[in-house]
Structure formats: C-alpha cells, structure tokens
Amino acid sequence: MVGNSKRVEHYGGTETTTNITIFSSEAEYLDAMSQPPPPPPEVHKVCLPPSRTTFQKLVQRLSEIFFPDAPLDRFKNQTWFRKLVLGLQFFFPIFVWAPNYNLKLLQSDVVSGLTIASLAIPQGISYAKLANLPPIVGLYSSFVPPLIYSVLGSSRHLAVGPVSIASLVMGTMLSEEVSYTDQPILYLQLAFTATFFAGVFQAALGLLRLGFVIDFLSKATLVGFMAGAAIIVSLQQLKGLLGIVHFTTKMQIVPVLTSVFERTDEWSWQTIAMGASFLLILLTARKVSMRNKKLFWVSAAAPLTSVILSTLIVFLLKSKLPMVKTIGHLPKGLNPPSSNMLYFHGSYLGLAMKTGIVTGILSLTEGIAVGRTFASLRNYQVDGNQEMMAIGFMNMAGSCSSCYVTTGSFSRSAVNYNAGAQTVVSNVIMSTTVLITLLFLMPLFHYTPNVILGAIIITAVIGLIDYEAALKLWKVDKLDFITCLCSFFGVLFISVPLGLAIAVGVSVFKILLHVTRPNTAALGNIPGTHIYQSLRRYREALRVPSFLIVAVEAPIYFANSTYLQERMLRWIREEQEWISANNESTLKCVILDMTAVTAIDTSGVDTICEVGKMLQKQSLQFVLANPAGNVMEKLHNSNVLDSFGVNGMYLSVSEAVDDISSTWKSQP
C-alpha cells in the first residue's frame, strides 16, 4: 500500500503547516480546527495474480482448453473399486443405466422402439437413395450403428440411423467425381471409406477433446445451411416425383430447375398423381402432429402406411402403371462385411477423406445438437466429447459392415421422445425390427414405387426450413442474419461444402471485425453511487470535471491496437474541444477503464505505453483502472508499470477519481 502511505504523509505535512499559521482571531482558528482535512480516500492496491511458472500457466491453459468440464474431478477421493466403476461408466454409459433397468422401462422402450422403426425403414431406404447408394445400404445402416450407440452413447433419446443432410452431402461430394451409375462398385467403396474417415475424424475429435471445433458452425450458419440443403434435397426429388429419366447429376438450384423444365416430355402423369396425393397425405399427417403433440404417432406411422399402400396399389395395378418406377429386387439377409471394400490408396483417397471430414462434422453437429436438446428437456447432461467418440466408433464399425454415415436424426429422435423412450434400449428394439425386416420382409419392397420415397424425403426435410429462426436472427442480430443468408445462398447456388465454408468464414470474420473495431465509451458518474457508466447510454450519468474516463470494451490486440490508440487520442481531442467550447474546467487526468480489457498482447502493451507518453507530453495525468489479472501480468513483465508507478493503477474508476481529486485539493 505504498500509494496510500505516501498520501498519508502528505496530509501530515498539511497539518504541520496549519499549526504554524497565525490566525487573526480565535474564532477563525476554531473554525479552521473544526474543519479537519478530509480523511484520505481509501485506496486499494491493484495486485498481480498469484505468481505461477510458465509451466503451471501452460497446464492451466491447456486444461481449460481441453478439459473445461474437469472430467477427472469425479474420481477424486474415491475407493479403488469405485474408481474402476466410474471409469467403466465413463467409457460405457450403458453401465450407468443398465443396473437399474426394469420391466416398466422396457415397456416404454419397446413402444418407442417400434414407433421409430416404422419411420426408420422407409427413411433408411429413402436417404440411401439420396446418397446415390443402393436402398438396402440404408437399412443396413439402421441396424449395426444403433446397437453400438446403445453401448457407448450417453443420450437416452437419440434415434440413430442415416440422416438427410449427411446423405445429401455424401451424395453430392462423391458423385461430383465418380459416377454412381458407371462405377457403382467404386462409388460404394468410396462411400464406405468416407464413412470410415468420418468415424475416425469424429472419434479423434472426441479423444483429443477438440469438440469445440463444431462450435464454429454457429446456429445462424446452421439455420441457413439446413434451409438451403432442404431445398436442394427437395429439388432432387423432382426426378422421382415427376418420373424424369434423364436428370442432371448436379445439385445446384439452377441446373436442376433447367433440367426439370427441359425434360417436360419425360413427365409421367401417373407418377405425378401418385406422388402428389401421397405427398399431400404425408404433409397433412405432419401438420396434424405439429398441431397436437399427442398425435405424434400420426406423422410417425404415415410413411410406413404410405409405403404399404403405394406398394399395394402398384402391385395390383402393375400392368396399368408401367411408367411408375419401383425399387426392384432387394437382397435378403444381414449386413455383409465391407472392411475389404475400404479404399486406402489411389487417386480417390483424397476425395474419400474430404467427404468423410465434411459429412463427419455435419453429422456430429446434428447428433450432438439433437442429444443436447432432449437432454435439456429431461434435465440430464450429454458430454460432447463422449458423444463424439460414440458416434465416431459407431461409424467406424458401420463402415466395416456395409453402413454409411449415421448419426442421431432430429425427426426420429423427436418421435422417440414423444413415444416415451426412457433409455437407448429403444434403439435396440428398432435395430431388432430392422433385423427382422432384413431377414424376412425384403421381397415385400419389390413393388414400392420410387415416387413414395421422394415424398417421404420431402416431408422429412421440409421441417429443416426454419423461417421463424431466421426471422429471430434478423430481429436480434443483423450480422447473424447475414451469416445465415450467406450459408443459405452459398448452398443453393454454389455447392454444399463451399456454402458451409463461406458461412464459417463469415462467422469468423464477424469475430475479427468485433476485435478490430471494438467499442469505446466515455464514462460519467451516476450521482450518489460509485458506479461509472457510459455518458451516452445513461442520461443521469454526470461528467466529472477535469477528468476524462474512457472505457475500452475489448482485449487490446495487434489487430486493434492502432485503432484504439487513434480512438483514445480522438476522445481526448474531442473532450478538449468540448471543454473549450463550453468553458469548463481544463482536462487534467485521463482514466482508462480496463475492466473489459480481458487480454492484451505485446502490441497492446506498446499502445498503452505510447498513449501514456503522448499524454505526458500534453502534461495530462494518465492512470489505469481495474486491469484484469493477465493484463496486469503482461504490463508488469514488459516494465510498463515502472513508468506508471503504483500511483498510476487503481482498483476502480471511483477510487481513482476520489484519490486523484483529493491529491489536487491538497496541492494548492
């Protein structure tokens, strides 16, 4: 408390002077004595954070980056056996719920499991076609991955299987370089390899605890991306719905619409009529379920019902409906192993890796977002890194058993939740149902028309167009809305991965823009308090005469140090102009409120130094208020503190103002 003691000395000096003053009258003397100098305002020293070695700082920093949830905390002070159990539970969440599993839970899980199976079978076939894969691969993918997830996953409501976005992206990216009609085996190999890489990438993110990578897909980006993808997916279904044979292989809106209207001669009215009527049925069912959450089973049962109905119609009228294309022969039997089809060499390896990483990120984002949504509804936690590992291992296993990329599907998970699922056993039930289908019911799909798959897909993806969320973005944050538009139009007109990249770029640019041009404000005192607030925002705040208090609302970095230096000098210039225009008392002290300066780098330190020097030349006092711990540390390390001295730092603006003005008063 050097500053404080120095000031006390000063007051002592003043008192001595008073004693030797000769007063003209006793009354005057008494008067002077009855007004003792005001007590020195209490000043608290700004202290450095507890000193730590570079290694300690590094450890703390790394643990904040990689272990923000402190996963090892729960192992503290536990017995050896308990630690083993906790460890097992950590890696296999099945051990958390399995011991308490009972018949009542099973009952709920059977009902929900059967419900999602009725949705998973038609959707599996449809999404496989979206990825340009044989329909049977969609069913395979609804069998193995859910079983693996039920052992490793920590969400209780996630319904695992193929999803529309990842299917679309895989289909787009692979078919840009390899034709699925000319080279079906290579295409299939690449799809499995991409799935393998997606799994490796996902598991690696989880193992290396780099889960924050997916945070860079902001909500705004996803709203735009999903809407764009939904439109792209729906447009692709025009092929099936209109019965067009020669359709473009491109995905963007312009070539697809051109292709649709150039091929009007291929439109088949039977197909259109069938597609339109089933689409109508499905959309109505969706509407009914949305209106009344209890009727969720209407939209859940509609796809399978439509498949059965349309298959019956085609089977009965097959001679009269030659134009309506059907799925055709599907092989009976379980998933064949596909590890021999993984492709680790040759010219398409890069394509497979790229596709794997993009679909991997997208499916992770969807799976984790869905898991978190339902976890927060039921008030339990889903660990992001653990989910990544579960989804990753599930895809790695999937790629060796003829499955393509799978994750938690939003629509099916919602149905699962509404149907009363209690644990991941509902996924096991679904798997079993798919198993029975694969073993015995495959021939029944022979006459299922392709058009119905298109209708099912459109109904599933239409919910991804969330215009209400986009409106909210516009209302709350215009820049977020622009990000959303970029990703929407990027996906529609350029390409799916590029649209995504543009949106991520815009999001990052937004952060950098905020860092480059941070807010600064002149503060005033709110009368009767120790609070200093922006003069512009609080009408009741008052300027403190002879002081200029500037708050910088961002870390001071290389990216904004030049700007902040200029801006601070402009604040001072404007204040001086204002003072001379209004004949106020001259400016004597500039206080920099550093409360919101949460970090600083070497350029920032130089800026503080530079501003200090410039103000010194103008004979202005320059003090800092409330520098944060790490900022203080860096100021200290760079010896800037030497030029400020202990008196140049205050714990709050209020103490700075009180102390400095009392120093002025005691210096006549």
Please give the Cα distance from 141 to 164 (Å, whole number): 13
Q: Is 75 in the site for its own copies (CB under 8 A)?
A: no
Please, what is the minimum distance in Å from the beta carbon of residue 63 to its own copies? 10
In 379-525, alpha helices (H): 384-399, 410-418, 425-436, 450-461, 467-476, 478-489, 496-516
| Contact with its own copies (CB under 8 A) among 107, 566, 645, 665 | 566
Site string for its own copies, 513-542 (x = CB under 8 A): xxxxxxx------x-xxxx-xx-xxx-x--
What residues form DSSP beta bridges with 522?
A: 550
The residue (of 302 and 649) whose beta carbon lies closer to its own copies is 649
For its own copies, the binding residues in 569-588 under the rule CB under 8 A are 570
What residue ranges in 484-605 does DSSP mark as E strands?
520-525, 532-534, 547-552, 589-593
Please, what is the minimum distance in Å from the beta carbon of residue 6 to its own copies? 20
Please give the Cα distance from 250 to 173 (Å, whole number): 10
| Contact with its own copies (CB under 8 A) among 39, 50, 99, 668 | 50
Please, what is the minimum distance in Å from the beta carbon of residue 368 to its own copies? 9
CB–CB of 277/449 below 8 Å?
no
For its own copies, the binding residues in 150-169 under the rule CB under 8 A are none
Q: What counts of helices (H) and strands (E) characterise the chain?
A: 28, 8
| Contact with its own copies (CB under 8 A) among 1, 32, 59, 70 | 70
Residue among 473, 481, 475, 471 at smallest CA distance from 506? 481
Stretch that binds its own copies, among 20-28, 244-252, 312-320, 557-565 (CB under 8 A): 557-565
The residue (of 135 and 518) whose beta carbon lies closer to its own copies is 518
What residues form DSSP beta bridges with 161?
A: 407
| Contact with its own copies (CB under 8 A) among 14, 107, 277, 562 | 562
The residue (of 140 and 622) whose beta carbon lies closer to its own copies is 622
CB–CB of 653/1 below 8 Å?
no
What does the block give as tokens for 287? 């509407």
Please, what is the minimum distance in Å from the beta carbon of residue 51 to its own copies? 11
For its own copies, the binding residues in 424-453 under the rule CB under 8 A are none
The residue (of 178 and 635) whose beta carbon lies closer to its own copies is 635
Phi and psi angles of residue 37, each rounded to the nearest 5 degrees, phi first: -55, 140
Residue among 2, 3, 1 at smallest CA distance from 662? 3
Count of residues engaged in binding its own copies, rule: CB under 8 A: 91
The residue (of 213 and 441) whose beta carbon lies closer to its own copies is 213
Residue among 424, 429, 399 at smallest CA distance from 413? 424
Q: Is 204 in the site for its own copies (CB under 8 A)?
A: no
The residue (of 251 and 568) whose beta carbon lies closer to its own copies is 568
Residue whose token pair is 């008052």? 542
Task: Go through 92-130 and write b for each residue having 16 or more CB atoms within 10 A of its CB, e for each that does not.
Answer: ebbebbeeeeeeebbebbbebbbbbbbbbbbbbbbbbbb
The residue (of 230 and 594) whose beta carbon lies closer to its own copies is 594
The residue (of 270 and 516) whose beta carbon lies closer to its own copies is 516
What does the block give as tokens for 524? 């005033």
Site string for its own copies, 599-618 (x = CB under 8 A): x-xxx-xx---x--xx--x-
**Residue 205: strand, helix, or coil:** helix
Q: Is 620 in the site for its own copies (CB under 8 A)?
A: no
Please give the Cα distance from 148 to 205 (Å, whole number): 18
Please, what is the minimum distance in Å from the beta carbon of residue 465 to its own copies? 18
The residue (of 54 and 667) whose beta carbon lies closer to its own copies is 54
For its own copies, the binding residues in 376-415 under the rule CB under 8 A are 376, 379, 384
What does the block give as tokens for 27? 């009354």
| Contact with its own copies (CB under 8 A) among 261, 475, 582, 583 | 475
Please, what is the minimum distance in Å from the beta carbon of residue 503 to its own copies? 11
CB–CB of 289/469 below 8 Å?
no
Please, what is the minimum distance in Å from the beta carbon of residue 157 to its own copies? 17
Q: Is 38 in the site for its own copies (CB under 8 A)?
A: no
Question: What are the residues whose beta carbons fall under 8 Å from the beta carbon of 546, sequence distance 6 or more?
Answer: 585, 586, 587, 588, 589, 661, 664
For its own copies, the binding residues in 320-379 under the rule CB under 8 A are 376, 379
Parallel, antiparallel, or unpaired: how do β-strands 547-552 and 520-525 relate?
A: antiparallel
What does the block give as tokens for 131? 């990825």
Q: Is 269 in the site for its own copies (CB under 8 A)?
A: no
Q: Is 634 in the site for its own copies (CB under 8 A)?
A: yes
Q: Is 56 in the site for its own copies (CB under 8 A)?
A: no
Q: Is 111 in the site for its own copies (CB under 8 A)?
A: no
The residue (of 230 and 640) whose beta carbon lies closer to its own copies is 640
Stretch that binds its own copies, among 46-54, 121-129, 244-252, 278-286 (CB under 8 A): 46-54
